[in-house]
Chain A
Amino acid sequence: MEIPRHWRLKKQRYALIGEVCPHCDAKIFPPRDVCPECHREAKDLFQFSGKGEIYSYTTIYEAPSGFDSNAPYTVALVKLSEGPMITAQLTDVDAAQVQIGMPVEMVTRKMRDDGDERGMIVYGYKFRPTLNHI
């Protein structure tokens, strides 16, 4: 597994660091060089709150390599409260309880083993139902 690649992504994975467009104030995640709203350059870092709600979800039974041992697990499109949408696994929730519109918050969890000889473990963001939500 490619260690530099995971190292490069650590700000996004551990702290949801995206960008804010200096021209139109759009919040951008994942980071990209061109603002999707105004098409100008975007480079300023911005930390997202990690709060959002479920736009859609799926429980995966046939998983890609590296994730087989976790199946079935649930992946969602989460609409972050600052605007952008993100693809992430759900955790600390029974798949049958998940609903579109459910408020969720980011947590850091183990994503997967590297499956080969180096024994590296990849951590990253997942989302769970917001704890103070009644």
Chain B
Amino acid sequence: MRPVAILGIGQTQVDEHWDKSLKELAGEAAFAALNEAGIKRADALFVGNMLAPIVDGQNQLGAHIADWIGMWGSEAVKIEAACGSGAAAFRAGLMAVAAGEAESALVLGVEKMTDKAGHDVTSALATAADADYEVEQGVSFVGLNALVMRRYMHEYGWKHADFAPFSINAHANAIHNPFARLHQKITAEQFEKSSMVATPINLLDASPIGDGAAAALLVPAEKLTGRKIIVAGSASATDTIAVHARREPLFLSAAYASAKQAYAQAGVAPDEIDLFELHDAFSIMSALSLEACGFAERGQAPRLGLDGEITPHGRLPVCTRGGLKARGHPVGATGMYQIVEVVQQLRGECGVTQVAEARVGMAQNIGGSGATILTHILKSEP
């Protein structure tokens, strides 16, 4: 397998884009990435998406988007792994280029979800869970995470307020990201008083959905001269689809497995990661991800937030562009936003939230309540 580099990136703002269709959003991000790379089309297109068949009534997004962006004739396919679809598509593109099956691959995450009413979207998101044994019991996707959070607080003695730094950091960083959905600060008091979704998870623990698309263009690293962003680690792992079937419901075993593999491929240890775009769909998920990836002992991740370690100037900056919490969570596109944001950090384009001398960045994308987890490590190399 040959090393692969990221030559171009593109993204739309995450928002309620009532005036734009799924393919128009996809086109915006795709053309931005192609323009940066200075090419018109790629050999292959990989699209990450979760909800288009349910919410937009559109399937076969590979051909649909290839058609829209003028990549007629190219190989094009959609990859689905619930909220992990974006990174799963990225990994598919990576493998195609690494294996020599394509000289260039355009990877795109896209989701258009605000056309439908709230409870329809809630139901659509729940398709990530076990249909017969979770969803039929009336548990929402938020509810599954709430069950995990309640038990976590019970076992380790944390209060709800102890999770506030995750959301506060995300909102503070998103203010400086023009592509983020939310651009306002939040306070610890607001975090405690926000309206309840599924106890103990309130609105400020949970990421907002949105429409959006993000893209990256992959090429063989050997074709580039000068400083480049290479994909140094890429791994994917799974766990049981249902939370109730897990041996340890408070441990993301697929995060542990994929991070361990990605660290080994990249030849780095957790303390060499300069920034981490983690999957903060809910504040509890930030904690579980940090623990599974070796940044905190089990049950101790809220301490990182309380000690200020997760801000852009802390020991392990996370969600430097707003994370899912404030950049927004257009589910199947989220994994590609994370990759694009790590690239921006490694290029030094992040202004106020730039992590000093960022050379190694990690992104972790989670499908469902932890059933599919992909970890990627990018490096800036001379």
Using CB atoms and an 8 Å cutoff, list the residues of chain A in contact with chain B.
5, 9, 30, 36, 55-68, 70, 73, 75-77, 84-89, 100, 111-112, 122, 124
By beta carbon, the residue of chain A nearest B145 is: A58
Given contacts A64-B122, A86-B244, A87-B242, contact A112 B138 (CB under 8 A): yes
A9 and B132 form a contact (CB under 8 A): yes
Is there a chain A Cβ closer than 8 Å to B355's Cβ?
no
A62 and B136 form a contact (CB under 8 A): no
B119 and A58 form a contact (CB under 8 A): no
CA distance A77 to B148 in the complex (A): 9
Given contacts A75-B143, A88-B137, A124-B136, contact A60 B198 (CB under 8 A): yes
CB contact between A56 and one of B118, B126, B136, B150 (< 8 Å): that residue:
B150
B138 and A56 form a contact (CB under 8 A): no
- 5 closest A-B pairs by beta carbon, nearest first, are A58-B146, A56-B151, A85-B244, A65-B123, A64-B123
Per-position contact with A for B125-139: 1 when CB-CB < 8 Å, else 0?
010000011111111
CA distance A84 to B137 in the complex (A): 17
CB contact between B139 and one of A5, A30, A61, A87 (< 8 Å): that residue:
A87
CA distance A36 to B248 in the complex (A): 13
For the complex formed, measure the closest distance between the CB of A31 and the CB atoms of chain B, giving whole angstroms: 10
B197 and A61 form a contact (CB under 8 A): yes
| 20 residue pairs A–B, Cβ–Cβ below 8 Å | A56-B151, A56-B154, A56-B249, A57-B147, A60-B138, A62-B118, A62-B119, A62-B142, A62-B197, A65-B123, A67-B138, A70-B138, A75-B139, A77-B147, A77-B249, A85-B244, A85-B245, A87-B242, A89-B137, A111-B137
Query: What bracket does the count of chain B residues touching chain A fall in?
Result: 35 or more
Interface of B, helix, strand, loop or mixed by DSSP: helix
- Which A residues lie within 8 Å of B242 (CB)? 87
Is there a chain A Cβ closer than 8 Å to B184's Cβ?
no
CB contact between B244 and one of A66, A67, A87 (< 8 Å): that residue:
A87
A64 and B154 form a contact (CB under 8 A): no
CA distance A82 to B245 in the complex (A): 14
By beta carbon, the residue of chain A nearest B126 is: A64
Is there a chain A Cβ closer than 8 Å to B224's Cβ?
no
How many A-B contacts are there with CB distance less than 8 Å?
Answer: 109
- Which B residues lie within 8 Å of A76 (CB)? 147
CB contact between B147 and one of A56, A61, A64, A73 (< 8 Å): that residue:
A56
B142 and A59 form a contact (CB under 8 A): no
CA distance A64 to B142 in the complex (A): 10
By beta carbon, the residue of chain B nearest A99 is: B154
Tell me which residues from 193 to 246 in chain B have a Cβ below 8 Å from any Cβ of chain A: 195-201, 242-245
Given contacts A36-B245, A64-B126, contact A100 B138 (CB under 8 A): no
By beta carbon, the residue of chain B nearest A59 is: B199
CA distance A9 to B133 in the complex (A): 10
CA distance A63 to B140 in the complex (A): 6
CA distance A86 to B243 in the complex (A): 9
Per-position contact with A for B284-322: 1 when CB-CB < 8 Å, else 0?
000000000000000000000000000000000000000
B138 and A63 form a contact (CB under 8 A): yes
- Which A residues lie within 8 Å of B144 (CB)? 87
Is there a chain A Cβ closer than 8 Å to B381's Cβ?
no
B122 and A62 form a contact (CB under 8 A): yes
- Which B residues lie within 8 Å of A88 (CB)? 137
- Which A residues lie within 8 Å of B126 (CB)? 64
CB contact between B119 and one of A56, A63, A73 (< 8 Å): that residue:
A63
Given contacts A85-B245, A87-B244, A89-B137, contact A64 B146 (CB under 8 A): no
A30 and B146 form a contact (CB under 8 A): no
- Which B residues lie within 8 Å of A75 (CB)? 137-139, 143, 147
For the complex formed, measure the closest distance between the CB of A114 and the CB atoms of chain B, giving whole angstroms: 12
